[in-house]
Structure formats: C-alpha cells, structure tokens
Amino acid sequence: MTSIPFSHKMGAHCESGTVTSLLNHAGLTISEPMVFGIASGIFFGYFHKHKSFTFPTFIVRNRPGDIRKNIRKRLGVEFQTYSFKREQDGIAKLDELLTRGIPVASQVDFYYMDYVPSWERAHVNVHFMVVIGKEGAEYIISDSYFPKPERLNEESLRRGRFAGGNMSPKGFLFFPQDVPNEVDLKKPILKGIQKACFNMLKIPVPFVGIKGIRLFAKRVVDWPKFARDTEHLSHEVMKINILLEDQGTGGAGFRFMYATFLQQAAEIVNKPGLKDLSSELMIIGDGWREISLFAARIGKNRDLGPEKMKELSEMIMERAQVEEEFFKKLKQSIK
C-alpha cells in the first residue's frame, strides 16, 4: 500500500484543520475559519483544579469532537465514525480503509507522535490528524500542524490511538461519507454565531465563557501556591503563551481565526456589521497576544512576584470586559 493522493495543507488547529482537509478532499470547498465558525469553535474555560491536570489551566476552544459534530448538524455532512474496544480491531479497520483509498482522521495522544519535536510534546488525548497511507511498518500522516506529510511507525500510532486516561481516544476514526456538493452557508453561519454567543455569555457555569475569563483573572494570582518552585511557576506561566499561540489556535487563542470567519461571513450573510465586529475582534486578539508576550517575558525573567501576577490578572480581566461587550454586540448583530 502507498500514500493516497491527498492535498496536505497546514491548518491553525488540529480538529478544524483535519475536518477542513477531509471536506476539501471530498469535493466541498470551504475554509478552515468557516468550519471553525460554523462549528462554534470559539470558547473559554478555566480549570483551577481538575483530576487530569497537574496545574490550573484553561481552554480556548469548544469540546473536542464538537467541530465535527456541529459541521454534521449544520452542513448536513455525514461522517462515518468508529471507536474500538479491542486494539486489533482498530488497527485492522484503519488498514482496511486505507486499502480502499479512504483518508481517515484519527484521534491520538499527541505525546506518542514521534515526528513532533520533544519540546512540543504533551500527553493530550485529543489530537486529530489524517492517516493517508502506509508503507511497510510506517503510516503516512497528514498532520495540519506540520508543513508536509510525516511518517509514523505502527507502534507509536497504536500507543497514541489507544492511550488511556481522560478523553481516551479508543482508536477513534472518522471520515466524511456523504458530502453535499453545494451548501448554503447562510443559516449554518448564523446558527454557529448564535451558539458561540450562548457559550460565551449564557452557560450557567462559573468557569466557562466570559465568567471563565474573569475566574482565570482572579485565580491566576494564586498560581504560585501550586508551584513546586520558581522554575515550575515560570514554566506554567510561559505555557499561557503556548496555549494561546502555539497550541494550534491561529494566534491569540483563536480570536484571529474567528475574526477571519466573521469577515468571510459578513459577505455571505450580507450583514456589514459583522465586518466591523471582525475588525474589533482582531484588536481584542492583539490584547490577548500582549498577554502571551507578557507571560513569556515574566516567566523567562523569573519576575513572578505578586505585583507582576497582579498585572497579569488585570490584563486578563480587561479581556473579559472587552469580550463581554463584543459578544453582546455580536449576538445583537444577527437578530
């Protein structure tokens, strides 16, 4: 078996990049920001304590898997999905699909992807990439985080697909089975925006949406209490930069990609107000990027005393304020 002809393309984010590549392969021309926006990908959640995290952390996107599920619901794309109790069944199914010439998305623990440089690796069970072929004992992987297709040995893919723990992949595979040739994007765009506004403004949980950003701002000053030592605190504070910029967000915790979606959406739904809001979100994103750079700088300098942590907290609190106003305006704009 060799590689299936597949147009490899880098994406900002692993799940939206994977879904976009598969839809493009199936004949539907759609951009990654459009997939992300229709699927209500923009989000915020803060976890001060969680049994699966060694340190307080936050997320800036909706629940893993929801991009695919929302695209199915809103665009009418049917995805064939598989998960497995027995590893050998999962391995056999992947090989069979590849033999049939079907590129398949696979959920894995990022840590076992040998083509990833050591400093980028982390045990995260919700990484998505497309398997596009197999040569001997190596799979050929189209991972949207990388400029070209990579190779991965069978054992590493097996470990990644069948890692246990929180959100265990269970060998999960999916591919689009039935894709409409043309879709009217107007309703899906409006539905996607409506749900994103609900997620950011209305979910009655104190650690999600705007409330989650405020909680992050309030609790980040307590981070030193959780750290083993100054270097550990420095590492965790610098991870704010990684979570907002490097971990597949398109910059500023997905704010730049969502602004791109709103700009594209404005023309399709003929609501010029969305274009103004896209510019506003780009500026809000610049503020998140300032937080990223500030976190990296104080972490590197070990300048992590109460005053700097308070300054960081105030910068985050300011983002909560501007995002609350932004999402209220966004909600109004689609009525």
Partner 1 sequence: MKEKEGFVDCPEQQMILYVEKEDGHYGPMQTGSYITKNYIDDYFTKRNNLVISLREQINRREISPVKFFMIFEDLTINELSARTHIPLRKIKKHMLPGHFEQLPEDILNRYAAVFNVTIEQLLKADPGTELQNAEATKP
Residues that bind partner 1 (CB under 8 A): 10-12, 32-33, 51-54, 111-112, 117-120, 122-123, 145-147, 159, 163-166, 168, 231-232, 234-235, 238, 241-242, 245-246, 248, 250-252, 256-257, 259-260, 263, 278, 282, 285-286, 289, 292-293, 296, 299-300
- Minimal distance, residue 80 CB to partner 1, in Å: 27
The secondary structure of the chain, three-state, reads CCECCCCCCCCCCHHHHHHHHHHHHCCCCCCHHHHHHHCCCEEEEEECCECCECCCEEEEECCCCHHHHHHHHHHCCEEEEECCCCHHHHHHHHHHHHHCCCCEEEEECHHHCCCCCHHHCCCCCCEEEEEEEEECCEEEEECCCCCCCEEEEHHHHHHHHCCCCCCCCCCCEEEEEECCCCCCCHHHHHHHHHHHHHHHHCCCCCCEHHHHHHHHHHHHHHHHHHCCCHHHHHHHHHHHHHHHHHCCCCCCCCHHHHHHHHHHHHHHHCCHHHHHHHHHHHHHHHHHHHHHHHHHHHHHCCCCCHHHHHHHHHHHHHHHHHHHHHHHHHHHHCC
- Minimal distance, residue 255 CB to partner 1, in Å: 9
Cβ nearer to partner 1, comparing 94 with 163: 163
- Are the beta carbons of 237 and 244 closer than 8 angstroms? no
Cβ nearer to partner 1, comparing 86 with 123: 123
Cβ nearer to partner 1, comparing 9 with 73: 9
- Minimal distance, residue 284 CB to partner 1, in Å: 11
Burial 95-110 (b: 16+ CB within 10 A, else e): eebbeeebbbbbbbbb
Cβ nearer to partner 1, comparing 112 with 207: 112
- Are the beta carbons of 106 and 82 closer than 8 angstroms? no
Cβ nearer to partner 1, comparing 4 with 37: 37
Between CA 326 and CA 213 the distance in angstroms is: 14
Cβ nearer to partner 1, comparing 55 with 82: 55
- Minimal distance, residue 249 CB to partner 1, in Å: 9
- Minimal distance, residue 1 CB to partner 1, in Å: 26
Cβ nearer to partner 1, comparing 33 with 97: 33
Cβ nearer to partner 1, comparing 10 with 203: 10
